[in-house]
Structure 1
Amino acid sequence: MKHSQMKQPPGLLKLLVLFSLPYAHGGSPSIGGGGNITSFVVGSAACTTPASFSVSFADLWTSARHPAEYPSSAHFSPPVAAAHNSNYTMWANHLLASNGVKVVAETGSTSPLLLELQSMNSDCSFSSSSSPSSPIELQVNESCPLLSYITMIAPSPDWFTGFYNLELCHEGQWVDSMTIEAQPWDAGTDCGATYTSANCVEAPALPISEILPNNTRGLFVLNGGILPVAAIIVSRMFSNVADPTTSPTQNPTMVSMGGGSVVSQTVGTDACGTPAEYTIAFTDTWSAERHPLDYPSRNPHFSPPVAASHSSAYTMWESGALASEGVRIVAEVGATSIIFSELAASNSQCSFASRSPSSPITVTANSSCTKLSYITMIAPSPDWFTGFYNLNLCVDGKWLDSLTIETQPWDLGTDCGVTYTSADCAENPRMPISEITSANNARGVFVLNGGVLPVATFVISKPSSSPANTEAANTEEDENNGSLSTGAAVGVGLAVAFVAVGMLGFACWYRKRSSKRPQQATSSKSDGLIA
């Protein structure tokens, strides 16, 4: 795909653009490109100690967000993730694609890229998964502190998404968690202009470029901009929850919760007396590969979730309890209006919200609302769901900075169906809520190799700072997750404008002053101040 080139801004505007370019601030990790860091937590573990990272993928490419010619068979290919150092580049803006990257972007096949990694990056960890819904785990050390990721946007000529040269080691410490919202990219190897274009070799190949709103057919565009097509969640994995850099006597208090298990946790330094905002990002790990028996062939998905901060006086759901009517409606049909009414009546002093599973939910916690619960229907199903309950966000008087959890499938006990598409069958009397295990379901649904793997991964984070956009070409923000508030952006813009105007005024004054002196030279440094 060919894109129109943006003209370079002249004079003062060029200076303003230069001063307005995004930069890493407030201790933000850096990213080479591909998308924007929307949240991050830097931990206390030194990069001299090897670390394990999990990379999870959330699909944000939808007909609602990217309506023009959206394909009915939309999906992403098996991704490749690689830890590396600055001597290796998987892909980058303005570079020509390697053959391995070309094959991923055009066909989704990973073999050539994995061979390239074996040849050029063998000292570092790299891997692929069978689908984006399956997290990739990597072993990382101080010699391999960067991370890159790629997956094909399919169908397409040679389009893909991901990120490159993401900093995992920041100021000597490993990042504990990070969320990147990634844009669509063109590998420059096929000249097709729409998703289902016939093969069309780009000769010569063009440099890799971000797909911008001015593309000829307006693909991916909504309201004049392009929203991210994926959220990629990178989280450091912990052994037995505790930070491996701490001694046994310094291990943090375990986070209490139900519904799943804690993969990693970081307790911050902010006291729980101060309100805290949390972002909850969801990754779907329910798949035919991980949960093969009876896996639905038609539209397996999760319903719009509900997340709520609350006190110990309120319980959304829990193991062994009978479901409320609101929770029943969520688990059986995916509707949220009744549980919202319950929350408004029983939990009005706290925060609750709903979004699509692919969009992170933001809730606020305070000293009276220190717990967090979440629920989403597994669909289609009789009354099955996943989520967590009574997650304690306040540990030893301090707010959690980040938490990664994996959750199991649960049976609400209100419908007696035994497989995904069973006819309605009211459970009378209702049964208590229970986890679906290999021992308690008649057909072995969700079971693989004698056990049940988690169906979802959640990264819950308290943002450390406003993220910086490292791609100057695209300033469009997600409508629910803008990286910089409008007020802050206006303030920064005005500050930059005042600086630039001041510099322009100084240049003019200096020139006037110089013109009154005897001419001893034909030029001065001020001549180059403003182009």
Structure 2
Amino acid sequence: MGAPRPVFPRGAALWAFLLASLGGVAGQPLGAEPTCTAQPLARYSVTFTGKWSQASFPKQYPLFRPPAQWSSLLGAAHSSDYSLWRKDQYVSNGLREFAERGEAWALVREMEAAGERLQSVHGVFSAPAVPSGTGQTSAELEAHSRHSLVSFVVRIVPSPDWFVGVDSLDLCDRGSWREQVAVDLYPYDAGTDSGFTFSSPNFATVPQDTVTEITASSPSHPANSFYYPRLKALPPIARVVLVRLRQSPRAFSPPALGLGAGGNEIVDSLPDPETPLDCEVSLWSSWGLCAGPCGRPGAKSRTRYVRVRPANHGAPCPALEEEAPCDPDNCV
């Protein structure tokens, strides 16, 4: 007796079988509710505020060539099957160019291609660069119920490949659009350049690393520009606020790259928190020659120098010179 023949569903049951086999429509599991059921479109203002001041981040704070500043903001409204950047994952070639050199066009092309090919990006938006560490810039974006996530990046200038941003921030809360969202931002390393300091020369990370958050203790190296071992956590280096706009829906076109809707301005705000910075000194030099008259105890000395000067009531520098008794050298 042969094996039993498989029985396939017929008619309406066949369609249900096929839909279940394919996982529903457009990747949505059968019977699952849409991620966002709010009105199709919503418009938001995006206000980025730099909080990178010398008081908050005194260690190696860039004062010139170039001074502390922010690149243009570049982002997109997208669906869950797109990622501009993500912690513990590798960045794209476009984001690498942006994080290391501020070159945005390759990243723009990647986002546009994702919108055209996969329909996962609804629109690209940008805001102008900020010429100081504590400035402000703004833009507008349009979110769609099928593209309710927002991601963006802003490069820290100068830096090897450091940036701030948000990854897949959802503007929709099931059946309604969120009226306002505020997020504190902290520095990230793109994993493509091995520099420790703001002014480090270009030295590629081979093999490329994943995106990691820079903290007060990681990387755990005294040369790291964000290394503050006395702090449990870094203060926020920037902040972004997204506010839903109430104007009537209209035809929306993202602003041209570098020409955000709101422009930028210097922010007059509350004083920045002062981060104490302890003095850091070098290792001692070798002991010098022993000097002194024959037949009597001599003295030798060694020195060290200041690597990082204290700031904001941090620990003062210790003695930079030390003497010790010795027997005079070459005494006849």
Q: Give your verdict on TM over 0.5.
A: yes
Amino acid at match of 1:220: F
Q: 1:303, CA displacement in angstroms?
A: 4.2
Q: Within 5 Å, give how 1:121-520 maps onto structure 2.
A: 121-122=115-116, 123=119, 124-132=122-130, 133-214=136-217, 215=219, 216=221, 217-222=223-228, 223-224=230-231, 225-239=233-247, 285-287=263-265, 301-304=266-269, 355-356=270-271
**After TM superposition, where is structure 1 displaced by more than 3 Å over at least 4 residues in a row?**
284-287, 301-304
Judged with a 3 Å threshold, the aligned counterparts in structure 2 of structure 1 residues 218 and 157 are, in CA distance, closer, same or farther, namely closer
**For residues 84 and 185 of structure 1, what CA distance do their matches in structure 2 show?**
21
Identity of aligned residues (%): 29
Contact persistence 2:127–2:137 (CA under 8 A): yes
Contact persistence 2:71–2:102 (CA under 8 A): yes
The CA deviation string for residues 219-250 of structure 1, in whole angstroms up to 9 with x for no partner, is 2345422111110011111117xxx8xxxxxx
**For residues 61 and 50 of structure 1, what CA distance do their matches in structure 2 show?**
34
**For residues 150 and 96 of structure 1, what CA distance do their matches in structure 2 show?**
15
The CA deviation string for residues 146-173 of structure 1, in whole angstroms up to 9 with x for no partner, is 0001010010000000110101111221
The CA deviation string for residues 111-153 of structure 1, in whole angstroms up to 9 with x for no partner, is 1111000001344011222225431211111110100010100
**For residues 49 and 91 of structure 1, what CA distance do their matches in structure 2 show?**
25
**For residues 59 and 225 of structure 2, what CA distance do their matches in structure 1 show?**
5
Does the alignment pair 1:70 with 2:61?
yes
Amino acid at match of 1:226: L
Q: Which has the higher helix share?
A: 1
Contact persistence 1:93–1:209 (CA under 8 A): yes
The DSSP-based 3-state class of the residue aligned with 1:101 is: helix
Judged with a 3 Å threshold, the aligned counterparts in structure 2 of structure 1 residues 94 and 53 are, in CA distance, closer, same or farther, namely same
Runs of 5+ consecutive residues of structure 1 not aligned to the other structure: 1-44, 245-283, 288-300, 305-354, 360-531
The DSSP-based 3-state class of the residue aligned with 1:58 is: strand
1:82 to 69, 76, 80: 76
Judged with a 3 Å threshold, the aligned counterparts in structure 2 of structure 1 residues 221 and 203 are, in CA distance, closer, same or farther, namely closer
**For residues 68 and 107 of structure 2, what CA distance do their matches in structure 1 show?**
23
Contact persistence 1:67–1:220 (CA under 8 A): no
The DSSP-based 3-state class of the residue aligned with 1:77 is: strand
Runs of 5+ consecutive residues of structure 2 not aligned to the other structure: 1-35, 131-135, 250-261, 274-332
Residue 93 (structure 1) aligns with: 87
1:58 to 38, 41, 49: 49
Does the alignment pair 1:102 with 2:110?
no
The CA deviation string for residues 225-280 of structure 1, in whole angstroms up to 9 with x for no partner, is 2111110011111117xxx8xxxxxxxxxxxxxxxxxxxxxxxxxxxxxxxxxxxx
The CA deviation string for residues 381-407 of structure 1, in whole angstroms up to 9 with x for no partner, is xxxxxxxxxxxxxxxxxxxxxxxxxxx
**For residues 210 and 243 of structure 2, what CA distance do their matches in structure 1 show?**
31
The DSSP-based 3-state class of the residue aligned with 1:147 is: strand
TM-score, normalised on structure 2? Answer: 0.59
**For residues 180 and 138 of structure 1, what CA distance do their matches in structure 2 show?**
17
Please report the RMSD computed on the Cα atoms of aligned residues, expressed in angstroms: 2.2
Structure with higher Rg: it is 2
How many residue pairs end up in the alignment?
209
